[in-house]
């Protein structure tokens, strides 16, 4: 795997429901509308990130 950027997870609200939102660098604009696979990773300390 290769790091393509770092992004804080934002919040998108629609119809009273909150959803997580990620932003990618402009270089990946052609990915808009495509399906992405998201994988959970461990932190440097070997612990799951607190949610």
What's the structural domain count of the chain?
Answer: 1
- On whether the CB atoms of residues 4 and 24 are closer than 8 A, the answer is yes
- On whether the CB atoms of residues 7 and 23 are closer than 8 A, the answer is yes
Token pair, residue 23, equals 């932003």
| Structural domain contains residue 13 | yes
Q: Between vectors from CA 42 to CA 24 and to CA 49, what angle results, nearest 5°? A: 80
| Structural domain contains residue 25 | yes
The confidence band for 44, taking pLDDT boundaries of 50, 70 and 90, is low
| Structural domain contains residue 51 | no
| Structural domain contains residue 38 | yes
| Structural domain contains residue 19 | yes
d(CA 21, CA 10): 5
At 18-34, the pLDDT tens digits run 999 888 888 889 989 99
| Structural domain contains residue 2 | no
- The boundaries of the domain holding residue 31 are 7-42
């Amino acid at each position: 795997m290769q790091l393509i950027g770092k992004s804080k997870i934002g919040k998108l609200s629609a119809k009273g429901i909150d959803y997580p939102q990620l932003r990618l660098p402009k270089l990946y604009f052609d990915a808009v509308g495509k399906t992405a696979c998201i994988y959970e990773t461990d932190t440097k300390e070997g612990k799951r990130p607190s949610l």
